[in-house]
Amino acid sequence: MVDFPPRRKPSRKGSMADVPGNLLDQIKELERLFSVDQAKLKEVTEHFVGELEKGLSVEGGSIPMNPTWVMGYPDGYETGTFLALDMGGTNLRVCEIILGEEKGEFEIIQSKYRMPDELKSGDSEELWEYIADCLQQFIEYHHEVEDLEQMDSKLPLGFTFSFPATQDFIDHGVLQRWTKGFDISGVEGKDVAPLFEAALEKRKLPVRLSALINDTTGTLIASHYTDDTMQIGCIFGTGCNAAYMENCGSVPKIAHYNLPPDMPIAINCEYGAFDNELVVLPRTPFDVIIDNDSPRPGQQAFEKMIAGLYLGELFRLVLVDLHDNKCGLFEGQDISKLRKAYSLDASFLSFIEEDPFENLSETGELFARELSLKGSKPELELCRRLAELIGTRAARLSACGVAAICKKKKIESCHVGADGSVFNKYPHFKDRGAQALREILDWPKGKRDPVDIRAAEDGSGVGAALIAALTIKRVKAGNLAGIRNTEGMI
């Protein structure tokens, strides 16, 4: 998760009147590089639709389009006590969710644990041991039991594992590749469920893995639980992704299961991998550097242009280039702090965009405090414009994925549940994305947007619990499609 400062009032527009010609020329070049016009948005979206279809085919494509074995939405009457485990890029969150008797009612208690950086590139066993240890701490604290083995029954758990995984069963998942800065050897290509369950068993924890889910699928289910017009779940944060409900008959790669063609199944798109072939994405030389220097060059092409993990690095690379090769930005100053890769995150750009003062005094203080650099007013204006361009491009390209799902499913009107630090906290992200949707889908002016992207419910917590509940409900009904281990579920 990207850590943003508190939101402030919308920023002032800024003025280029006192920017000298050489800097203005650089600003115009940056605008050329980072602007995405309506025609390009439509081109990207049309290619996106085809790639979504290709991902559902037997042959597959760059976008995995993973079937999740979540077979439909909750009806609001699910009940029981469930654990949810959320393994993200920054924190590990453990929740206990009680689904009440009233429709759509739930209670939640939760604790967060820092995900140490050394675990992200360490040993596989250390990772699962750490997760099990946090889970044990949570249960012991909130259930006030000394001997966990004496608990009456095992608590069903929904595990939000927010990395691309292939699932032949809802309680199983083969990691396709690490993302979000993780690079632990010996896990890719393996089923993570037994690795996790072995750590639980080692501690004799009273927990049963009922469902392994992605946070985006959880966002879809949790959002629909409270608003039945929600048809797409999205994440715009450290990474990017979407999930939606497909018909089994439209997923050729699961045809061999002989499921009813009209049976719903949630699809976890994992569309951060869109256009890895670089057919339509408007990459800049700086995007190329980010890709080449990443742990996985040639992968997650779309994500690297729009996700919070990369926005600050894009900004940093441009500033270093302007200092070294173009207009002598921060000329004569020591930019050693600026040269450190990934030293700036998306919150740095957010702060600049929200500077309310005409003289950009807060931006100047930010550069002095974080980078030991003193920027002139024209230099700060350039930095301000660059932040706007990078943030706007991210929001506009993000809209292409939503528009593509709407086009594929012929959705004319719906709510989209969105979560993630960039969506929730980056200034103007929602408005810029909404404007892009209008341009792509050619909505008439002056009317309410028929596709409305809104803040989602807690997908990785409540969504995980709901999916665990839905899985148990299916077992009771005898619908065992995509469930590997039913023992102890009912």
Q: Which residues are catalytic?
A: 162, 177, 215
- At 369, list the tokens: 């405090």
Q: For the chain, give the longest Cα–Cα distance.
A: 75
Distance separating alpha carbons of residues 27 and 67, to the nearest angstrom:
44
Q: How many CB atoms lie within 10 A of CB 436?
A: 24
* DSSP H or E run through 332: none
- Over the range 105-136, which residues count as b (16 or more CB within 10 Å of their CB) and which as e? ebeeeeeebebeeebeebeeeebbbbbbebbb
- Give strand pairing partners of 95: 84, 110
378 in the Ramachandran plot: left (φ > 0), alpha (ψ -120 to 50) or beta?
A: alpha
Q: End-to-end distance of the chain based on CA atoms, in angstroms?
A: 36
Distance separating alpha carbons of residues 170 and 234, to the nearest angstrom:
20
3-state secondary structure of 254: helix
Amino acid making up residue 383: C
Q: What are phi and psi of 232, to 5 degrees?
A: -140, 140
Q: Do the beta carbons of residue 470 and residue 72 sit within 8 Å?
A: yes
- Give strand pairing partners of 267: 67, 244
Torsion sign, CA atoms 154, 218, 426, 288? positive
Distance separating alpha carbons of residues 176 and 187, to the nearest angstrom:
9
Amino acid making up residue 328: G
Contacts 24+ apart (CB under 8 A), 326-331: 326/26, 327/22, 327/23, 327/25, 327/26, 329/379, 329/382, 330/373, 330/374, 330/375, 330/379
Contacts 24+ apart (CB under 8 A), 100-105: 103/76, 103/77, 104/76, 104/225, 104/226
Q: Do the beta carbons of residue 25 and residue 322 sit within 8 Å?
A: no
Distance separating alpha carbons of residues 133 and 243, to the nearest angstrom:
31
Give residue for tokens 């690079």.
Answer: 183
Q: How many CB atoms lie within 10 A of CB 460?
A: 29
Q: Do the beta carbons of residue 244 and residue 232 sit within 8 Å?
A: yes
Distance separating alpha carbons of residues 138 and 194, to the nearest angstrom:
21
